[in-house]
Structure 1
Amino acid sequence: MAETMRAERFHADTGEYGIEDVPIPEPGPGEVLIKVAFCGICHSDLSLIDGTFPRMLPVVTQGHEASGTIAELGPGVTGWSEGDRVIPAAGRPCMVCRNCRRGAFNDCLNIQLMAFAYDGAWAEYHVAQAPGLTKVPDNVPLEQAAILADAVSTPYGAVVRTGKVAVGETVGVWGVGGIGTHIVQLARLVGAVPIIAVDINPVVRERALELGADHAFDSRDPDLAKKVAEATDGRMLDVAFDAAGLKVTFEQALDCLGVGGRLISVGMSGQEPGIGSTAALGLSRKQVFGHLGYKPEDIGTLAELVSRGRLDISRSISEILPLERIAEGIEKLENHVGDPIRILVQP
């Protein structure tokens, strides 16, 4: 094996990034070295670049939606072999907080996020903790496997864990891009009906209908709330997901909830929405939840759903670019060129 590899490196002091030659990392105790096959480009990667997310390290390799094969086992690793096809979790427990000390690693109080607190996978190789790995079924392509670690698992966590969507509940999704698309698909999988997609882009709205939404409305429509009422027979929404994270989408979603409805805020931005009067909030019993991420075991659940044909994410891979063209992929996502669900890099 060579001593160096190509990797994207983001420099916090200048906000600049580029492809550099860096040493191939060595796996420590309990870790594995992964030969990266594919890694997605996510809006949170862009948020680090534009300063929306805090810059935790002076220099870091970005990319947190990865798949690949194990190239080397670190000391003490058992249950895995070189050549295994795997997905690394996009975060790791701190191991020192009160929850980690009692073994509740999924509830770590200071979770370290991949590509922010430690190096990610826009690189030829990536070091990951062995306990956070998920094995990829033989019939699941590695390009689809890569996006399970965030682009699909975060929506899964939002729908199943935070939103607790039940069979027959009415669901609305604001922003049907990389996250919202999978919220639509997963809400349908758990039995929500009807599912209403809301987006500014007519192409994206049509795609949402093809992938499982029952209705698709323009977020700029002044009669949006009326149309939601008609589509739900006056019930309005039991659960609304804001996958865009904008002031306008948050407030629209909140307005379209029925009595006791739940708003799940998934998308992120620096904008500050309002919730109206406390009297209106109390009388309507509406609830607002913030959502982030997933549990590592969720990736395995999703991998099995894909493997068994219950969840089709084949259309979610919009484009695959070589690592050297990472800047092109970032620009396309930022400017919605081709309305991508997920653009991947292939080191």
Structure 2
Amino acid sequence: MRAALYPGGGRPIVIESLPNPRPGPDDLLIRVDRCGICGTDLSMTKGGMWDYGANVQFGHEYAGEIVELGSNVEGFRIGEKIAVLPSVACGNCRQCRAHGNNVLCQSSPSKAMVGFAELASVPATVATKLPSTLSLADGALIEPLAISLYGTKFASIAPGDRVLVLGGGTVALYAIYWARRLGAGRIVAMSRSARRKDLALAMGADAFVAYGEGEIGEVVEALGGPPQVVFEAVGAEGMLSKAITHADQFGRIVSLGFCTAPDPVIPAIASYKCVSMQFAVGYSMKEFVYIADQMDKGHVDPKAIVTNVIGLNELPDMFATLRGPNEETKVHVRCNAS
């Protein structure tokens, strides 16, 4: 099979021919149809402190069709469409018992971040069946939708809450999507440029504000008051401070951006506002199952953010494109297309 490999050390992605994987007794072998390129993939393959490692397969936003069942697998059939939760949990450690968040498991028995490949063997425990109403393109969006849903719930949005979302990428757009579905009042999206303004409005934002002088007043005017909830979904230095600056007194800030560099804040400013700040990563199987069941019942098609679909052989060039100025939002790779 063909698969994408990261050589390590920030070197370019390569497409290699590898032996076809074989499913273990508790695994499913799937033909991968779609795998989305995530901002994490870009940051974890640039050779910094946070890195996937050397000569590793990767790709974690994927869906495919079952082509073979492990000998112990029950409840699945060949030909069924599934989405994959790419973090495998042991189910027994303290983190698994307390939180059910697979990403927090400290004793993971195996990995399932192998989506940029024609075939993938994955534990049946991390497979979510797709209803007949959903396509495999829908399935490849469940993982980023789950990240935003899991994090958005930390804000405990009350009906009518004023919400500000910092950022215009996938996580930010889906934070808008969930905030709208969870009962937010007015929602403002804020980013450096208006390139994704239309997408933000389609996902459920009421207004768009660009960073710059007067942004605080513009946000207050658009929301009818300072935001009671702020989602930081940029992951760049200075964004936590910006979130604090915008938040109302006793506002709730949820960081979804996963910044990997120091991001200083001035505690006194936060203290005078009595704001609370929550950091979130990952998701549980509950989010995956819920999204698979509810995805076609939302106020907008989540596939609206997909701006390009490419073949696996085009992946290295697309990584280079996404590292510079570009017009893409979510790029999907058709792993069994040239």
Query: Normalising by structure 2, what TM-score?
Result: 0.91
Q: Could you say which residue in structure 1 is the equivalent of 2:246? A: 256
Q: How does 1:330-345 map to 2 (within 5 A)?
A: 330-338=319-327, 340-345=328-333
CA RMSD of aligned residues (A): 2.3
Tell me if 1:138 matches 2:132. yes
* Partner AA of 1:180 in structure 2: A
1:126, distance to aligned residue in structure 2 (A): 0.9
> 2:147 is matched with which residue: 136, 142, 154?
154
Deviations 1:37-64 (A, max 9, x none): 1000000001111134633543211110
More deviation in 140-149 or 300-309? 300-309
- Higher strand proportion (structure 1 or 2): 1
Identical columns (%): 25
Distance 1:311 1:224 in 2: 28
Gaps of 5+ in 1: none
CA contact (8 A) 1:60 1:119 kept: no
> 1:80 is matched with which residue: 54, 58, 76?
76
Give the secondary-structure state (helix, strand or coil) at the position aligned to 2:13. Answer: strand
Distance 1:268 1:312 in 2: 26
Change (3 A) 1:154 1:78: same
Q: Could you say which residue in structure 2 is the equivalent of 1:110? A: 106
Deviations 1:230-272 (A, max 9, x none): 23333x1111111111123322111110111111111133332
Give the secondary-structure state (helix, strand or coil) at the position aligned to 1:217. Answer: strand
* Partner AA of 2:142 in structure 1: L
> 1:305 is matched with which residue: 294, 307, 332?
294
Query: Normalising by structure 1, what TM-score?
Result: 0.89
Deviations 1:89-137 (A, max 9, x none): 021114563345x6965365427599xx555110001111111111111
Q: Could you say which residue in structure 2 is the equivalent of 1:193? A: 185
Q: How does 1:18-57 map to 2 (within 5 A)?
A: 18-52=14-48, 54-55=50-51, 57=53
Gaps of 5+ in 2: none
Distance 2:161 2:206 in 1: 13
Change (3 A) 1:298 1:111: farther
* Partner AA of 2:121 in structure 1: V
Deviations 1:168-197 (A, max 9, x none): 111111111211111111111112111010
Q: How does 1:158-169 map to 2 (within 5 A)?
A: 158-160=151-153, 162-169=154-161
> 1:129 is matched with which residue: 120, 123, 130?
123
Q: How many residues align?
A: 334
CA contact (8 A) 1:38 1:68 kept: yes
The 4+ residue runs of structure 1 with deviation greater than 4 A are: 102-105, 111-114
Change (3 A) 1:130 1:198: same
* Partner AA of 1:271 in structure 2: A
Q: Could you say which residue in structure 2 is the equivalent of 1:267? A: 257
Change (3 A) 1:170 1:93: same
